[in-house]
Structure 1
Amino acid sequence: MSESKGVLQGFKEFLMRGNVIELAVAVVVGAAFTNIVNAVVKGVINPIIGALGSQNLDNYKACLSTCEVNKKTGEFTSGIYLLWGSVLSAALTFLITAAVVYFLMILPLNKWKERLAAKKPVEDVPVDPTEVELLIEIRDALLAQRAGSQSVPSSHAGIIGTQKSQQ
């Protein structure tokens, strides 16, 4: 009984994670968005390309071998066809989808995140000593060690200059 409760509790925690819910929302929005993009491609892009020929890009094809078409039905009876019009239509759909997602979703989100990051207060991080400061500390420590002094030799001395030399 306790094992099933642990499994059910784990499953509930899994479902309540933000990633699962965000993924479900993305799938639903993506499915609805696909219909919009397909309508734009079929209603706007294909007719523009169709000004050169057929409005249905599926009609653009090439034959690799002897191809025969039934003149009554318009169906292909033999031969090997490359349906490059369908590929072009799918590629246009993809490019339009990617462009809309980038310009209407990703770009504004990135700008919004940049604004939030700019408003965020900067944490006080201790500044590392410069090379010159480190060299001064090393020099002072060596001078103090050579002189046999146990005191701090300079006001610029930091961690290295304050350590007592071991004899």
Structure 2
Amino acid sequence: MEKKGFISEFKEFIMRGNVIDLAVGVIIGGAFQKIVTSLVNDIIMPVVTRITGGVNFENWFIALDGNKYRTLKEASDAAAPTLNYGVFITEVIQFVIMAFVIFLLVKFMNRVASLRKVDTKEEPAVTKICPYCKSEIDIEATRCPHCTSILETEASSEV
């Protein structure tokens, strides 16, 4: 058995379909994250700020140096350590929105997949039930192998 070199093993690993699919997924996910971030920061948060009377979540913070700052930028410029719970709230909102959008996307993809399923035709029956002993028997049987009853066939019942 020939040993593969490190480089050839790496090439084989990288060329597997699932690795490429994963890379594409990560790249698309990064782009999708930017879209959701923009949706939250540029569309939803301004509406929430307007509804809450001008409250800006990004300026909800606690300065850990004991001083008071009006904005997070002021505290940052003063190099003050801060606990930024408003930024955290924004991130939670982004997460919930992203989860909802992904839920809708998966729901849509499942619906499309179910519409594409081909209806399978029922195969003709190969067995029937004996009317006397209720055993399952071959569809073409004229006598039940279990109870030995003579079975009426469709051709003889039509006469």
User: TM class by shorter-chain length?
Assistant: 0.5 to 0.7
Cα gap change, 1:98/1:127 in structure 2, threshold over 3 Å: closer, same or farther? farther
- Mapped partners of 1:6, 1:125: distance in 2: 56
SS of the aligned residue for 1:3 comes to coil
Corresponding residue of 1:162: none
Structure (1 or 2) with the greater helix fraction: 1
Aligned partners of 2:75 and 2:82 also within 8 Å: no
For structure 2, list consecutive stretches of 5 or more residues without a partner in the other structure: 137-144, 152-159
- Any gaps of 5 or more consecutive residues in structure 1? 139-149, 157-167
Establish whether residue 83 from structure 1 lines up as the match of residue 112 from structure 2.
Answer: no
Give the match for residue 144 of structure 1.
Answer: none
Letter matched to residue 136 of structure 1:
K
Aligned to 1:163: none
Q: CA deviation at 1:155?
A: 4.3
Q: Which residue of 1 aligns with 2:38?
A: 39
Distance in 1 (alpha carbons) for counterparts of 2:132 and 2:115: 37
Instruction: Report deviation, 1:31.
Output: 0.6
- Output aligned runs, 1:1-167, within 5 Å: 2-4=2-4, 8=8, 11-12=11-12, 14-51=13-50, 52=52, 53-55=54-56, 57-61=57-61, 67-69=66-68, 74-75=74-75, 82-103=83-104, 105-117=105-117, 119-122=118-121, 124=123, 136-137=134-135, 153-155=148-150
What TM-score do you get using the length of structure 1 for normalisation? 0.59
User: Paired residues, what number?
Assistant: 137
Distance 1:80 1:5, change over 3 A: closer
- What is the alpha-carbon distance in structure 1 between the residues aligned to residue 92 and residue 146 of structure 2? 76
CA distance in 2, matches of 1:124, 1:62: 71
* Structure 1 vs Structure 2 CA RMSD: 4.2
Question: 1:110 Cα shift?
Answer: 0.4
Deviation of the 1:62 alpha carbon? 5.3
